[in-house]
Amino acid sequence: MLSKNKLKLIQSLNHKKGREKENCFLAEGDKIVTEALKSNFHVDSLLSTSEFINSHSLLCKKTCKPIEVTKKEIQSASLLQSPQNALAIIHIPEESFSVSALNNQFSLALDSVQDPGNLGTIIRIADWFGISHIICSTDTTDCFSPKVIQASMGAIFRVKIHYFDLESILEEIKKLKISVFGTFLEGENIFTSSLPSSGILVMGNEGNGISKGISHYIDKKLTIPSFGNSGTESLNVAIATAICCSEFKRRIIVKSTPKNQINKYNIM
């Protein structure tokens, strides 16, 4: 049964203040809760229907004892339009982070990304492309808000997200001689530019792009070229992130593919 206290707790986790107070966040929906149970995150409570418990019995045993609730009870607590069979309260992990973890890696940094859907999508993209770390400026939207968790589709449990004063951390990153890239409307064409297989790529705010303070730290400004007479002035930040990550990672694939196996269209 869903107690009144639990319901209150769940509702408080919709807000950053509540999450900070409880040091917990919410994962909703069968797929995302399953990913949470599979991960190293500490599950505080799992509320699920008997249906979910039966079909995920091994996973449920691994964690805390699930609280069996009805679909109606989940609905009363859920933020989702079509609530499913499971909802979990999860501890926000305490992570120690040293900049040296970014050595010989390709990582992302976000300068004030505001939209939770964008942040969640960027986390999902990072996971797809094997990117382990995302550094967020302190004013980037909270990665543990329900909308981010939903959009990340479970990738939040694999990609490590760190919040820092971006200028200070870029200062440290540059001391380690890690190359810093950033996307701008006026930059070098990413498709014909030299790109190493490691470094950190900064993506900017939805409306304003990369801030002036941060742009000083960029070693190479990159642009995704537009085609034809496009009237579209910019791409959505998650879309631009996807294209850039794809291009950085493509180079790695192409470099590791024997030349005779690469089609001439690719290398021309």
Q: Does 220 bind its own copies (CB under 8 A)?
A: no
> How far apart, in Å, are the Cα atoms of 84 and each of 61, 126, 131, 187?
20, 26, 30, 45
Does residue 183 contact residue 208 with C-beta atoms inside 8 Å? Answer: no
**195 part of the interface to its own copies, by CB under 8 A:** yes
Other C-beta atoms closer than 10 Å to the C-beta of 76 total: 14
Among 110, 77, 100, 60, CA closest to 4: 77
Least distance in Å: CB of 236 to its own copies?
6
Helix or strand or coil: residue 214? helix
- The answer to whether 112 touches 85, Cβ cutoff 8 Å, is no
Stretch that binds its own copies, among 6-14, 53-61, 168-176, 219-227 (CB under 8 A): 219-227
Taking the least distance from each CB to its own copies, the nearer of 75 and 246 is 246
Q: How far is the CB of 268 from its own copies (least distance, A)?
A: 5
Stretch that binds its own copies, among 52-60, 135-143, 178-186, 247-255 (CB under 8 A): 247-255
Residues 119-158 that bind its own copies (CB under 8 A): 121, 124-125, 127-130, 153-155, 157-158
Q: How many residues bind its own copies (CB under 8 A)?
A: 55
Q: Which stretch binds its own copies (CB under 8 A): 14-22, 55-63, 65-73, 256-264?
A: 256-264
Angle at 254 between CA 251 and CA 259, to 5 degrees: 145
What is the DSSP-derived secondary structure letter of residue 141?
P
In this structure, the number of other CB atoms found within 10 A of the CB of residue 57 comes to 11
Q: Which amino acid, 177?
A: K
- Residues 91-120, one symbol each (x = binds its own copies by CB under 8 A, - = not), give --------------------------x---
- Point out which residues pair with 108 in neighbouring strands: 134, 201
Instruction: Return residues touching its own copies (CB under 8 A).
Output: 35, 38, 117, 121, 124-125, 127-130, 153-155, 157-158, 189, 191-196, 224-232, 235-236, 238-239, 242-243, 246-247, 249-255, 257, 261-268
